[in-house]
Amino acid sequence: MSDPIFFSATTTLSLGAIAEAAGVSLPQGANPDGVITGAAPLESATPADVAYMDNARYGDALAATRAGLCLVSPRFAPRVPAETVALVLRDPYRIYAGLLARLHPEAMRPASLFGSTGVAPGAHIHPEARLEPGVRVDPGAVVGPGAEIGSGTVIGPNASIGPRVRIGRDCAIGAGATLTHALLGNRVIIHPGARLGQDGFGFAMGPGGHLKVPQIGRVIVQDDVEIGANTTIDRGASRDTIIGEGTKIDNLVQIAHNVVVGRHCVIVSGVGISGSTTLEDYVVLGGQVGVVGHLRIGMGSQIAGSSNVNRDVPPGSRWGGTPAKPVRAWFRELTTLARLAERSTGGDEPKA
């Protein structure tokens, strides 16, 4: 990679083993004992590296690459140089991701920044907290009374784990993250600066002032969830805020109280989800999407970036725009506006 100081390969892989893992055969004449020691972009790869290609923008880089192995989709296979072994795959990026995980397993989740084994000096663990063997806690971290942390979990420096919080096994809690009123499953990754379990924004409004409504729910995060840096997830008001199994949440996302996010959803940076909204399984929200409260976005729906959702979305939909609507209607609207603008002259407002 570009800076091996941080991510040196921890193993080597043979061409034969890579092909077997990908479920394909090596091309005729390729040496199955050839060795790959790293991964790199097309333009900087060496004969010891694997690269991948599935985007037409990089056709010239593919034609000029010196990579020893290239994972490539069928349409681009003819442009692979003769000196490079081509593995033709339906989904080269996914196979490439698996190879990266084998070459650089330490990049899969945040590690101890201090190199801690066990509880480092300067960490503060309450006597009533319960840590299984194999938990690592960096300096400055605080673990409150009654908290429970499973084996293989790493707590980064200056992270705060509140009273009675429960964290499963093989999790990673990044530097400076705060977790209160939360229950986490196994293999959860919380990146630095994330905030889980703080008050939801709940007030009884009135002319005499705004009365704070106590927020007495929890945040429940199921297995294999990843939550990006500086994302905030409020605890529930009277019921729980829930993040479903396998969901991936980017940086700088706000999820309000009582929101339920289904399994294997993808929520991109800058999204804001208002209270008591439900995302069913496999929903995708593009960057900077805003969702008003008390809505339901149906299973498998996709919302285009920068859209505003103000009504329920049926399952399997593709919506975009402000307010969001089915993409065909949105595109027609944009096309009509563009045509009206073209007809206008001298800076006059377009005529209907």
Task: Report the alpha-carbon distance of residue 318 to residue 154 in Å, rounded.
Answer: 38
Q: Which of 311, 334, 308 is nearest to 323 (CA)?
A: 308
- Residues belonging to the chain: 352
Task: Report the alpha-carbon distance of residue 272 to residue 292 in Å, rounded.
Answer: 9
Task: Report the alpha-carbon distance of residue 34 to residue 337 in Å, rounded.
Answer: 57
Phi/psi-derived region of residue 101, left when phi > 0, alpha when psi is between -120 and 50, beta in every other case? alpha
Contact 60, 81 (CB under 8 A): no
Q: Which of 68, 67, 41, 39 is nearest to 55 (CA)?
A: 41
Take residue 102 and report the two structure tokens written for it. Answer: 């084998």
Q: Which is catalytic among the residues 126, 191, 257, 264?
A: 257
Place of tokens 């994302």: 231
Residue 257 a catalytic site member = yes
Task: Report the alpha-carbon distance of residue 172 to residue 105 in Å, rounded.
Answer: 14
Give catalytic residue positions: 257
